[in-house]
Chain A
Amino acid sequence: MEGSPVLQVHELYKYFPLSQGPWAALTRKRRRMVRAVDGVSFSVHRGEILALVGESGSGKTTVGMNVVGLQQPTRGYVLFDGYNVTEWARGHGPSLEAKDGPLAALSRRRRIMRLRQKAQMIFQDPYESLNPRQTVFDIVAEPLEIHRLARSREEKKERVREALETCGLVPADHFWDRFPAELSGGQRQRVVIAGALVLEPELLVADEPVSMLDVSIRAEILNLLHALRRERGITILYTTHDLATAGFFTDRMAVMYLGRIVELGPTAEVLARPQHPYTRALISVVPVPNPRRRRQRFILQGEIPNPTDIPPGCRFHPRCPCAVPECRETDPQLRPVAPDHEVACIFAGQL
């Protein structure tokens, strides 16, 4: 992929303290932590679609939340357009500023607002992410009001119309007086996307945007996201547990397991030649819509361990079909096996 990275995530850690009783607090036991994200680095280039793939508990949603600034990382930082947005939001100065730009002179609040404008998040559940008491117009116009982007009522109306129609809600006047309850799931998700698009963002973090939708609607939404990249050059971070939808429209893919990226590479390459045992298993269990192509499934037994007790060594070894004693001791780091293709496994490149 050409172009400079829009988004750089560097050594991101996000721990959540586990709530504990008063007794534990008194005895000063070490506080147990949920290690949701445990050292994740990646970058996304302008106009690229990166899939962040993983099961629930892999930390993919947490990464997305940290990218758009809904959460603050425990450690590490997020560079957006070269600016360290983590530091801004924390209230420190722009000490890790990667470049001098027009933003350097802005106040902290203005810079955070710029991030909020340029990086938008689309949530999983279109039934939940719209305020049931707002009309479609209010929902899509609200971002403009927050960022004071429309100078007049007419301009606001025009921009809302444009956003709705880009998202396939044509004609817009037909929809904007309605309440979310009057819309189908697919239409609601379009409203959500329109509400993000109205700010002309550079980055969309789409958190499982189609997992709650029916198959025929799913394709429409994915095609819409794909078109946004093609026509507007919007960069998309697409988090999902569904490798099949990720394979359809993403350029690169990062597979996460238990808070870490275990494999990162071009989508087609990862799907065709997965190098990490986890990726291999994950791909093998995706249902293929053709009985003539039923394959052997590598089904991992058990479930993702609790992120409070991450296994020592390679965190995947207890479920790994290829584990050797060494896996219990070495915690493998990502290393390249092919151009742009990195894997965190001691057998990387030998599978």
Chain B
Amino acid sequence: MAILLDVRDLSVDYLADDGTPLHAVDGVTFRLEEGRSLGLVGESGCGKTTVMLAILRLLPQEGRIVRGQVLFDGKDLLQYSEAQMRQVRWQHISMVFQGAMNALNPVRTIESQIVEALQVHSVVEHAQAARERAGELLRLVGIPPERGSQYPHQYSGGMRQRAVIAMALACNPRILIADEPTTALDVMIQAQILELLERLQAELHLSLILVTHDLGMVAEVCDDVLVMYGGVVAEYASSDVIFNDPCHPYTQRLLQAFPDVGRPGAALASIPGNPPRLDDLPPGCRFQPRCDCPRRGPICAHEPPPLTEIAPGHYVACHWVRKV
């Protein structure tokens, strides 16, 4: 399979109010192959959304990409001009932002908002064609096209999320990034949205990046998983490896902390402490203060572990996990 997106050593700093740089994302590396799906998992504040915004070059003003490459089809997006970038956004890579379903314009119909997206990105010039395309998009995401003339408040949460996904698909992107697409939705609606994403991925041959804190969702949908902690990659491997043979202590703990409906009553491990704050990052391994791995040693507190490929396609950032 062709590699569509190749992110290498991507690092982002945020400038604090007093001008000191906070290393929000440090050395994130991953690849996305055509037609596959990648899950980006981590707790709030771990930098997963920042990575996505950096790829789209949509960081807030305080954010700076300080290192790295984002190769899309072999070309580095970080070298693109803003005008070129605008071509890439939505037309090649589009994103369903977290909470976007609650940010639809309440006084305009869903259809007119999709039409606007189409016209802004000059996919369709003609108004009639744009309306037809909007209807097509709505049908694609499972909304009867005649409901396009309704307003956001007449839609349920799940329908609004579908509408936002339709907007993201307006320009036939090759990569769809979905940031917490099911947060705040009910379980059944979550399942409907997941099913929709899977179907779209297959029908449109999309590559999908799912950004979420929900391990279960990733296990259901994704081929590969990137686990982030405190702005760095902890572990990166295929879904099967991550869930059945995790090597990083954080991944292991996280999985043990996740309740499994198939195994009711099983003990849940908790991870004591809190994720690190950006202005107070530990010097060595960022997970070290919360790590309870028996093998851990003094080196953990001093030296950040490099991301090492311990088996083909299995990357771990831990001093104590070695190549087998």
Contact = CB atoms under 8 A, between A and B. Distances in A.
Interface of A: 55-56, 184, 186-187, 214-220, 222-223, 241-245, 247-249, 267-268, 271, 281-283, 285-294, 297, 299-301, 303-304
A290 B187 contact: no
Interface residues of B, number: 45
B216 A287 contact: yes
A56 B262 CA distance: 23
Contact of B188 (A242, A290, A293, A299): A299
B191 A291 contact: no
Given A289-B216, A291-B240, 4 more contacts: A219-B257, A248-B264, A271-B261, A290-B243
Nearest to B214: A287
A282 B189 CA distance: 11
A248 B266 contact: yes
A323 B214 CA distance: 33
A285 B190 contact: yes
A314 to B, nearest CB: 18
A307 B190 CA distance: 21
A227 B119 CA distance: 58
B259 A248 contact: yes
Given A282-B187, A303-B156, A303-B189, A247 B259 contact: yes
Nearest to A270: B264
B265 A288 contact: no
A339 B192 CA distance: 34
Nearest to A168: B272
Given A248-B264, A291-B239, A297 B258 contact: no
Contacts of A300: 188
B260 interface: yes
A288 B262 CA distance: 7
A289 B268 contact: no
Contacts of B220: 287-288, 291, 294
Contact of A215 (B188, B191, B215, B261): B215
15 contacts: A55-B187, A187-B274, A215-B43, A215-B213, A219-B256, A219-B259, A219-B270, A241-B186, A247-B260, A286-B216, A288-B219, A289-B243, A289-B258, A290-B244, A291-B243
Contacts of A289: 215-216, 219, 243, 255, 258, 260
A287 B41 CA distance: 15
A245 B43 contact: no
Contact of B260 (A217, A222, A288): A288
Contacts of A248: 259, 264-266, 268
B264 A247 contact: yes
A331 B24 CA distance: 56
Contacts of B265: 247-249, 267-268
- Which of B191, B194, B256 has the most CB atoms of chain A within a 10 A radius of its CB? B191
Contact of B187 (A219, A268, A285): A285
B216 A214 contact: no
**10 cross-chain pairs, A with B, having the tightest CB-CB distances, nearest first:** A287-B216, A247-B264, A285-B191, A220-B270, A219-B257, A216-B271, A55-B186, A219-B270, A244-B259, A219-B268
Contacts of B43: 214-216
Interface string B178-218: 00000000111111101100000000000000000111110
A219 B264 contact: no
Contacts of A217: 270, 274
A297 to B, nearest CB: 6
B39 to A, nearest CB: 10
Nearest to A224: B270
